[in-house]
Amino acid sequence: MSDIEEKKNSFMTNVHPILSGDVMSARIENVRSQLEWEPSSEKSGWENFVDSFTRVHVEEIDPNLTAAEKIAIKTARSPLKRRLKNRHLQMIAIGGAIGTGLFVGSGSSLRHSGPAGVLIGYFISATFILCVVCGLGELAVEFPVSGGFTTFATRFIDESFGFAANWNYLLGCVCTLPLEMVSASITVNYWGTPKKYRDAFIALFYVVIMGINLFGVKGYGEAEFLFSAIKVTCVIGFIILGIILVCGGGPNGKYIGGTMWKSPNGAFVGENGAQRFKTIMSVFVSAAFAYSGVEMTGLAAAETANPRKSIPSAAKQVFWRIAIFYIVALTLVGLLVSHKDPRLIGTSSADAAASPFVIAIVSHGIKGLPSVVNVVICVAVLSVGNADIFGASRIMVAMVEMGHMPKWTNLDYVDKRGRPLVALGVMAVFGAIAFIAASPKEGEVFTWLLALSGLSALFTWFGIALSHIRFRAALKAQGRGIDELCFASPTGIYGSYYACILIAIIIGLTFWTSLWPYKTAPNATDFFESYLSAPIFIVMYFGHKIYRRSWRLFTPPTEVDIDTGRRETDIEQLKIDIAQEKAEIAAKPFYLRMYKTLC
């Protein structure tokens, strides 16, 4: 099938079934010509450049349709370009999840909970993230629509839940962008850079990140691929080096083994079981901040060339790669660095000198490498900031299409190159908050930005898992089955139930540890620094309920739209194709079948 035919068929799935005949053909040709926009040979280079910023026109929706139908159609026919490949998709997810949370933030977790507490918190988080990512993969393959997972909550759960979840995630992205740029500027302090030059570095990082996103989705994908390759190489190199150091192969020649887990350091922080439990619970918030970004595969689905092929493998492989990088790397960190090391305190949560990776290398007499790790930390924070701009700009487009933002904001403006220009402009304005780096109030601003984004990922993952549960319920209620799915989640609906229950428990227990923190008396500052995202979510959810006067908890499964936006519209042919693919896999050797199942 040619690219033109594929895009034509794709567009046919993005319009309402009431359209047919000449009206359907005219609209297909209109959108196809815009999707196929290329510089004209009859215009000068400057004229083509200016023309590329022209808005793609998409016809208005039939006003007689219901709100749910309008949302489904608008998000399905978004003019965003589909230029991301499988390698881009995998690296985008990895790039969004390997940043300061691993390289720097893990040091704070180690100091507060000990090496065993860190592993318990990050491992349990990894188990429910597997379920979330697999459920997201199933939904994203079936519905590669604008906004990705941010639209699923509105469609499959309830519009009020989707409104609250989307604003919560957007606030997290908006706050994380200046947070990451400030982190990068603090990182350069490792080399003794005077603080008066902090704004100059902020300006440099700001221009680089915004410039990448102005190149469109393909430029973003290539940049993220490069950033992530650097980070992955660094983590693998540290794992190899860490194993050598633990076994006594370092310059000091001293065998380390598990000495850091024994007295007087110990594997946990706390004098009794209750205190240790609280310290472990504090790790879950840090782990959520560190792992946030794995959901980017679902957000990028609308701009992926072949989601049916690339998203399933990306969903499964991303989990294994991140779990291995985090669990193995943090195990080695716990063996090489004492949780009582005063250097773990640092001057801020972005202080590269407080990175346990840097401390581990420095403590064992290796020179030169700490500077390399710090360069990678700079790349990591830029990568995460880059992903935030990409994610937030796409969410803004989807939120206008869903009616969660006013139409007059023009945030759904997408040009002929597939760039959401107005949304990128808004992110540029919020990114300018990073210039407080040279202000004496930097620490306070940094802390509250972190508070706004702290639990954001947990609410997002809960919404994804619940959306998967509601989608399966809608399939069953409408007499459909999972045999028509291009990709069924390996963890199934029970995995999504497990993720929802565990996330709800973590959010509840985080309330307890935030209200009665370890070692300090209850106080408002500590509570809101840890739990600010939760009351914001609650206020937005009930505020939308009151505004819409809609009191039902869930959209009835018989009313859920499970067809609009699907790329595969011939269900019977799809079933035949899936059965053939399963037969081909079954005929392969055991090790290949196992690899296909897991990866």
pLDDT band at 8 (very low <50, low <70, confident <90, very high): very low
Residue type, 152: F
pLDDT band at 243 (very low <50, low <70, confident <90, very high): very high
Q: What is the pTM of this model?
A: 0.84
pLDDT band at 474 (very low <50, low <70, confident <90, very high): very high
Q: In terms of Cα–Cα distance, which of 372, 460, 408, 401 is closest to 14?
A: 401
pLDDT digits (tens, 9 = 90+) for 103-122: 877 888 888 888 999 999 89
pLDDT digits (tens, 9 = 90+) for 310-337: 777 777 777 677 777 888 999 999 999 8
Distance CA 542, CA 549 (A): 10
Quote the pLDDT of residue 183.
73
pLDDT band at 467 (very low <50, low <70, confident <90, very high): very high
- Has residue 347 got a pLDDT over 50? no
Average pLDDT, the chain: 78
Quote the pLDDT of residue 43.
65
Quote the pLDDT of residue 147.
65
Q: Is the dihedral of CA 236, 240, 245, 247 positive or negative?
A: positive
- Has residue 346 got a pLDDT over 60? no
Which of 484 and 146 is assigned the larger pLDDT?
A: 484
Q: Tokens for 47?
A: 């004229």
Distance CA 246, CA 249 (A): 7
Quote the pLDDT of residue 437.
59
pLDDT digits (tens, 9 = 90+) for 544-553: 999 988 888 8
Q: Give the pLDDT mean for 184-203.
A: 76
Query: DSSP string of 476-531?
Result: HHTT--GGG-SS--TTHHHHHHHHHHHHHHHHHHHHHHHHS-TTS---HHHHHHHH
- Has residue 541 got a pLDDT over 50? yes
Enter the DSSP assignment of 272.
S
Distance CA 530, CA 528 (A): 5
pLDDT digits (tens, 9 = 90+) for 350-392: 556 678 888 888 888 888 888 888 888 888 878 888 888 888 8
Enter the DSSP assignment of 55.
B
Burial class (CB in 10 A: 0-12, 13-18, 19+), 138: buried
Quote the pLDDT of residue 29.
39
Q: Give the pLDDT mean for 525-546.
A: 86
Quote the pLDDT of residue 498.
96
- Has residue 404 got a pLDDT over 60? yes
Give Cα separations from 84 to 5, 92, 393 (angstroms).
19, 10, 16
- Has residue 458 got a pLDDT over 80? yes
Q: Tokens for 296?
A: 């980017």
Quote the pLDDT of residue 416.
77
Which of 590 and 490 is assigned the larger pLDDT?
A: 490
Highest mean pLDDT among 254-263, 372-381, 464-473: 464-473
- Has residue 568 got a pLDDT over 50? yes
Burial class (CB in 10 A: 0-12, 13-18, 19+), 273: exposed
pLDDT digits (tens, 9 = 90+) for 33-78: 444 456 665 666 666 666 666 776 666 666 666 666 666 666 665 5
Query: What φ, ψ does residue 147 adopt, rounded to 5°?
Result: 90, -15
Class of 65-568 in CATH? mainly alpha
pLDDT band at 301 (very low <50, low <70, confident <90, very high): low
pLDDT digits (tens, 9 = 90+) for 478-503: 988 888 888 888 888 999 999 999 99
pLDDT band at 576 (very low <50, low <70, confident <90, very high): confident
Contact 331, 106 (CB under 8 A): no
Q: Distance between the two ends of the chain, CA-based, in angstroms? A: 27
Quote the pLDDT of residue 20.
35
* SS3 category, 271: coil
Which of 22 and 550 is assigned the larger pLDDT?
A: 550
Which of 524 and 505 is assigned the larger pLDDT?
A: 505
Domain definitions of the chain by residue range:
65-568
Q: Which of 6-15, 126-135, 191-200 has the lowest mean pLDDT?
A: 6-15
Count CA atoms closer than 13 A to 151's CA, side-chain side. 39
- Has residue 593 got a pLDDT over 80? no
